[in-house]
Amino acid sequence: MSSRSPSQSPRDTFESEHEDASAEPRVVEMEDGDAAQPSDELDDLFGSDNGSVIDDSIKESRSRRRKRTDEDDASIDEMIIDLRKRMREAAYRDIDDKKEHLPAIHKLSMLQDVVDELGKTQLYEAFLDNNIVDSIRLWLEPLDDGSLPSLDIQNAMLGALKRLPIRRDHLRESGIGKIILFMSKCPQIPERNRRICEQFVQQWSRMVMRLSSDFRDRKIREATVDLTQAYKHGPRKTTEAASIAASKRRAPGGIRVESSSGRGGERSTARIPQRVAADYTVMPVSSISLSPSQPSPSRIANDRFKKLRQTMNRSGR
């Protein structure tokens, strides 16, 4: 509180304080005669080189982060190179042991470690950059005596190939396509793994040929067929050899079905229906054209059914 002299009345004191509060801020004169600006006061409070200090600290943190990232990348590359080296050594030891008629167990002994490392999703690009696909190919190749890798190794390596985002340059550098094509046709490979290899062959072939895997992008030939002309000559006749072979097949239960020709070469006895493998190369032109605004027949039927149900519900009330 401000002290007042005894000669001042309370009213004079209040008026003087009110005048001081309503007056404009006084400008403090410095020793050199210049007025002190607010920016000068901030500089005195926080320091005149405050902005430069912040900029220097940001640059220093960025350089430390960049250095740390480079060190992490170098350590990751070293880890992957060491993993590839151990995988190749295990594969070569199995080849040598097989030549000496010893059990080839080096790949199986380190399989779990390889699976754990290949399961790190954040390192997929680093794995591909260090050509890990070549080591996977070496583990999937048959040995010199023709023996295939164990089922556990097949499942683990094929699973890793499914997860890795493999591109064209990785296929070219590793040569994995040859062994996958062999596995897709080898009868000793389990059917499940053969199907996976077939999917790889189709996917990678489209990738190499730069074809889209979307079915909507496929170009299908269309042709207009006159059905009256197609059936004018009657159904196609099977050859005599095929008819004889089909007639001598046994029916379920051990009953032999013999064929007998009646008048005009027509069969007078029953025969077992044969499965026809249809392989279509030309798609017929559709005679139905639906515009986007025109509803489909199924939608029209559903709308009619809904209206009928609503009418029945009203009448039931």
Domain chopping of the chain, boundaries? 56-169
CA-based nearest residue to 242, from 263, 217, 220, 259: 259
pLDDT higher than threshold 50 for residue 254: no
Average pLDDT value over all residues in the chain: 74
From residue 23, alpha-carbon distances to 1, 20, 27, 221, 272 in Å are 19, 5, 12, 92, 115
pLDDT of residue 199: 92
pLDDT higher than threshold 90 for residue 191: yes
Report the share of the chain in percent with pLDDT over 90. Answer: 34
Inter-residue contact 53 to 43 (CB < 8 Å): no
- Mean pLDDT of the region 128-148: 92
Q: Where are the alpha helices (DSSP H) in the chain?
A: 10-22, 38-46, 50-99, 106-109, 111-118, 124-129, 132-140, 151-163, 168-174, 176-185, 191-208, 227-230, 240-247, 297-316
Quote the CA–CA distance of 264 and 255 in Å, as a whole number.
27
- Mean pLDDT of the region 238-246: 50
Higher pLDDT, 137 or 29: 137
pLDDT higher than threshold 90 for residue 158: yes
- Mean pLDDT of the region 105-131: 93
Burial class (CB in 10 A: 0-12, 13-18, 19+), 29: exposed
pTM: 0.51
Domain 56-169: give its CATH code.
1.20.930.10
pLDDT higher than threshold 70 for residue 264: no
What would the pLDDT profile of 86-112 be if each residue is shown by its tens digit? 999 999 999 999 999 899 999 999 999
CA-based nearest residue to 111, from 146, 145, 149, 76: 149
Q: Provide the token pair at 3.
A: 């002290």
User: Would you place residue 245 in the very low, low, confident or very high pLDDT band (cuts 50, 70, 90)?
Assistant: low
Quote the CA–CA distance of 288 and 268 in Å, as a whole number.
42
pLDDT of residue 29: 46
Q: How many CB atoms lie within 10 A of CB 260?
A: 8
What would the pLDDT profile of 10-63 be if each residue is shown by its tens digit? 555 555 554 554 444 444 444 444 444 555 554 554 455 555 655 666 666 666
- Mean pLDDT of the region 204-232: 70
- Mean pLDDT of the region 174-203: 93
pLDDT of residue 293: 61
pLDDT of residue 134: 93
User: Would you place residue 255 in the very low, low, confident or very high pLDDT band (cuts 50, 70, 90)?
Assistant: very low
User: Would you place residue 184 in the very low, low, confident or very high pLDDT band (cuts 50, 70, 90)?
Assistant: very high
| Residue the block writes with tokens 């077992």 | 272
- Mean pLDDT of the region 219-230: 67
Higher pLDDT, 67 or 285: 285
pLDDT higher than threshold 90 for residue 294: no
